[in-house]
Structure 1
Amino acid sequence: MTAARLCIPVLVLLTIFGRAGARAEETPLGRFEATVELPKEGPYVGEPLRLRLRSAIHARVATDRIVQPGLTDFDWQQFGVDASSEAFIDGFWMPVHTRTLMIYPLRAGRLTIEPFKWRLAYFSDDGARTEMEMVSEPLTVDVRSRESLGDSDFWLPATSLRVIDRWDPEPDKIPVGEMSKRTVTVEAEGLTADRLPPLPRFRAPGVITFAGPVERQTIVTDQGPIARAVYQWTVRPVSTTPAVAPAIHLRWFDIAARRMRDSSVPERRVAFIDALPAPQSDDAGKSRGFFSPQPLLASLLGFISAGAAAYLAAATETGSGRRSWRRRARTWGLLLTLRVRARRADASGFREALRKLSKAEPERWRRVAARADIASGLAAMDAAIFSREPASSPVALAVLARKITAAFRAAE
C-alpha cells in the first residue's frame, strides 16, 4: 500500500516532464528581431534610416510572411530583395533571412515602431505541418526638427552627392541657327531616386530653353542605395548677342558629417560661335610711320581686289562662273523651299530648310539671323516646335520667309 502511494507522485512528475519535453521538441528554436540604424545625435525629420528584419528558425519552413505594423509616423519603402545567409544560433546552424526597409520620419518627437509579426508554417520531424507566430520587440526613435539647419527649398539628405554638367556642343561654340543639349546628372548615395529634387529652373535673358523628361534610377549596392537623376534641356541663344546661363545650386544634408553643404555648377556663357569677338593684338591700330605694313597691305589688297573683279567679270562663262551661278541657284532654291514650307505651315520642314541654308551661306546667314525682327521670329518658331506646351498663337512662317528672302537679297 505504501509503495503504491509512492508510485503515484512519481508517475505524475514523469507525465508532467514528458509533456514538457514533447512541447520542447515540437517548438523549434527560432529568432525574429527588428533593428534600426540611428546616428549618435538622433535623426532629423525626413532623414533616411535603415530598418532590418532578421528571421531564423531551426525547422523546414513551408510558408511564411511578415506582417508589418501601420507605420503612421514614417514614410517607408522596401530596399532591394530579401537576403539569405546561414548563421550559428543557439547551438544550431540556421538559415537567416534579412529584409531591409528604408524609413523616413514624418515629424519630430519620440516615435514608436510597433512590433512586426512573422507568421510561418513548418514541418516537424514526423512530417506534421504546424503554424506559429513570432513577434519582434517595439522600437522607439527620437527625431529632431530641421529648423536648426536653416531654410531649404528641398530637403536632400545623402551620404555623398555629385553633380555633373555637360553641354553638346559647348555653350559658347553653338553653330549659328543650331542648339546645344545640356545634361545635368545628380548622383546621391544613401537614398532612392524618387527622393531627388524635381527639374531645376533654368531661365535666363537671351536664352531659350526646352526642358526634356527627367530620368531617375536607383542602384542597389551592399552599402546602400545610390540615386541618379538626369535633367536635360535644349538651349538656343535668342540672337547673336552672347547670354549667360545661371549657376545651379543644390543644398543637401551630409548624413556622415551631420551638416548642410552646397553643390553647384558654375554659370556658362551661351553664344553662337560666329558671335564671339575675334582676338585683337594690343598693338593693333598703332602707326609705325611711313614704312608701316598697314598702307602697304591696303594697297596690295586693293590691287588684288581690282584684279579679282576683272577676272570674275571675264570668268562668268568659264567654270568658276558656272560654280558661282550653281551656288546662287542652290541658295535661291532653298529660299523657294522656305516659301513653300511656310504656305504649308510646316514648321519642322521650314527649320530644316533654314539649317541647309545656314550651311550653304554661313556668312550671309550670320548677318541675316542677327536682325532683331528675324531673330525673334526664329525664337518663336523654335518655341512652337520644341516646347511641351502648345503655342498660344501660330507662328507667321510666311512673314518670316519674306523677311529672310528680302534680307538675303539685300546681303548680296
Structure 2
Amino acid sequence: MVIRLVLLLVLMTGVARAESLRLVVPDGQPVVGEMIPLTVRGEYTRQITLEKLSFPNSEDYDWMQLSRDQWRDEQIEGRSVRVFERRIALFPRHAGALAIGPVAHHLTVVGANNLREPLVVTAPPVTLPVAPFPDAGAPLSARSLTIEDELSAKPGELRDGETLVRRVTLKAEGTLPHLLPARPLLREPWLISFVAPERREMQPTPDGPVTTVSWEWHLRPKTGEPGVLPAVSIPWFDTAARQMRTAEMPAIPFGYSSFGGNRSGTERLPAAQVGLAWFATGMGLMAGLAFALIGLSPSRRADMLRAIRRLSPIDPTRRALVRAARTGALLDIRRAAETYLRRRRSLGLPVSGRETAQLDEQLYGRNAATSSVTAKVELEAMFRHG
C-alpha cells in the first residue's frame, strides 16, 4: 500500500512538472517603435540531447535576439528542473493589438531504453496592446538619445573660399538603425552643400541595441554674405520618462570673416537717421512689408520673416490646439501640442519641456489606466509652461 502511494505521488509530481514553454512579457502599454523586452522560458524535466527554437517573423513587428540562450538548473517545487531562456527585443510597427507567437521548441529527448525521440513543446501566443506614436512624424522611441555636432571651423568666421565640414552623430539606446530619422536637408539659397555617405551602425547589448547614425556635410557660402543655418528638431519618445522630447541640431551663423571689412559705408548710422528709419518702418510696416522683403538678401529675408512670426499675435498652431481640446480626444490634443511646441522652438520662444508631462502620463504612463486628466487642464498646463 505504501509503495502504491509513493508511485502515485511520483506520477502526480511528474504530471505537475510536465515540460512547459511560455512567453514572458512586461506589464504596460508600449508605443509604436518602442523596444519590448520579451523572454521565452522553458522548464524541462527530461534529458535533452538536441534542441532548436525559432522565433516567428511577422509583418507587425521587428525583432532581434539580445544575448545567447541560457540553460541552467533550478529548484522548483522541490525538484531540479532544467530551465531554458532566450531574451528577445521586439519593436511593434503598428498600433493596436499585437499578437506574438505561438513559439515551438523542437527537442530530442532520451526515452525508454535510452532511445532518442522527438518532442515539441509550444508556448501559447500572447497579445499586447500597442499605443499610437504620440507625434505625427515617423515613430522614434528610445531609452536615451543624444546629438554630437562637430564643426571643422568657426562657421561665422570662415576664411575666403574655406569649406566648413559639419559632422553630426545621433546615438540612441533601445532602437534599430532603420528607425532613426533620415538625413536632414541643409539647403539655403546662399549655400553650396555636398554630402558624404551616411553611416548607420548597431551594437547589440544585453539591455538592447545601441544605434548610431552619422551625417557629414561640406558647406560653403556662395557670396560670403552672412547667413544662419536654421536649427533642426528631432522629436522622439523617451521610454524611460514616458513622454515626448526633442533633440536639436542647433542653428549656426555662417559666412566669411572678410565680409564685414568689405562692406561699404559706416558700421553705425547717425542717431537722427536711426530715428528716421524706425519712424519710416513703423509707418510703412503693413503697406510696404512686401517691398522691403524683396530688397533683402535671401538670408536676411528669412531672418526678418522669422522675427515677424515671433512678434505676430496670429498662431495657427495654437488655434489648432484649442480646437483639438474642444473635442476632448487626448491623442489629438497630444499631436496638436507637439506641432504647437515645435513652432515655438523653431522661433526661439520659451519652452520648458514640461508642457505635456501630465498628458504623456495619461496616455503612456505606467498608471495610465487610473489617471484622469481633462482636456481643459492639459490646455492650461501647456499655455502656462509655454
Contact 2:20/2:122 (8 A) holds in 1: no
From 114, 118, 122, give the equivalent of 1:131.
118
- The one-character-per-residue Cα deviations of 1:166-222 (angstroms, maximum 9, x if unpaired) are 111232243322312111111111112221111111112321111111111112223
What residue number does 2:165 align with? 181
Contact 1:171/1:269 (8 A) holds in 2: yes
What residue number does 1:61 align with? 48
- The amino acid that maps onto 1:140 is T
Contact 2:66/2:208 (8 A) holds in 1: no
What residue number does 2:23 align with? 34
The 5 Å alignment of 1:245-284 reads 245-277=229-261
The 5 Å alignment of 1:137-216 reads 137-146=124-133, 149-152=134-137, 154-216=138-200
| CA drift at 1:145 | 2.9
- The one-character-per-residue Cα deviations of 1:69-100 (angstroms, maximum 9, x if unpaired) are 4634x222213342425241424555544323
Comparing 243-252 and 170-179, the one that deviates more: 170-179
| CA drift at 1:252 | 0.7
What residue number does 1:301 align with? none
| CA drift at 1:254 | 1.4
What residue number does 1:44 align with? 31
| CA drift at 1:265 | 2.2
Contact 1:88/1:94 (8 A) holds in 2: yes
**Structure-2 separation of matches of 1:125 and 1:187:** 55
**Structure-2 separation of matches of 1:262 and 1:26:** 55
**Structure-1 separation of matches of 2:254 and 2:80:** 66
**Structure-1 separation of matches of 2:181 and 2:19:** 43
What residue number does 1:361 align with? none
**Structure-2 separation of matches of 1:253 and 1:109:** 18
The 5 Å alignment of 1:289-308 reads none
Contact 2:89/2:208 (8 A) holds in 1: no
| CA drift at 1:266 | 1.7
From 59, 62, 72, give the equivalent of 1:86.
72
- The amino acid that maps onto 2:162 is E
| CA drift at 1:58 | 4.0
| CA drift at 1:165 | 0.8
| CA drift at 1:63 | 1.9
- The one-character-per-residue Cα deviations of 1:134-175 (angstroms, maximum 9, x if unpaired) are 1113212122234xx3422x2111111111111112322433
| CA drift at 1:128 | 2.4
> In structure 2, do the counterparts of structure 1 residues 93 and 206 end up closer, same or farther at CA, with 3 Å as the change threshold?
farther
**Structure-2 separation of matches of 1:195 and 1:50:** 17
- Indicate the SS of the match to 1:118: strand
What residue number does 1:75 align with? 61
> What are structure 2's unaligned runs of at least 5 residues?
269-386
Q: Which has the larger radius of gyration?
A: 1
- Indicate the SS of the match to 1:37: coil
Contact 1:111/1:140 (8 A) holds in 2: yes
> In structure 2, do the counterparts of structure 1 residues 76 and 206 end up closer, same or farther at CA, with 3 Å as the change threshold?
same
Number of residue-to-residue matches in the alignment: 265
Are 1:235 and 2:219 matched, yes or no? Answer: yes
**Structure-1 separation of matches of 2:49 and 2:252:** 62
Identity %: 24
- Indicate the SS of the match to 1:224: coil
Contact 2:34/2:175 (8 A) holds in 1: no
| CA drift at 1:247 | 0.9
**Structure-2 separation of matches of 1:125 and 1:176:** 87
Contact 1:112/1:140 (8 A) holds in 2: yes
- The amino acid that maps onto 1:214 is E
More contact order relative to length (CA 8 Å, sep ≥ 6): 2
- The amino acid that maps onto 2:145 is L
**Structure-2 separation of matches of 1:66 and 1:123:** 18
Contact 1:28/1:59 (8 A) holds in 2: no
Contact 1:204/1:246 (8 A) holds in 2: no
- The amino acid that maps onto 1:151 is A
Contact 1:205/1:243 (8 A) holds in 2: no
What residue number does 1:223 align with? 207
Contact 1:82/1:97 (8 A) holds in 2: no
- Indicate the SS of the match to 1:86: strand
What residue number does 1:118 align with? 105
- The amino acid that maps onto 1:180 is L
What residue number does 1:358 align with? none
> In structure 2, do the counterparts of structure 1 residues 275 and 61 end up closer, same or farther at CA, with 3 Å as the change threshold?
farther
| TM-score, structure 2 normalization | 0.59
**Structure-1 separation of matches of 2:248 and 2:149:** 10
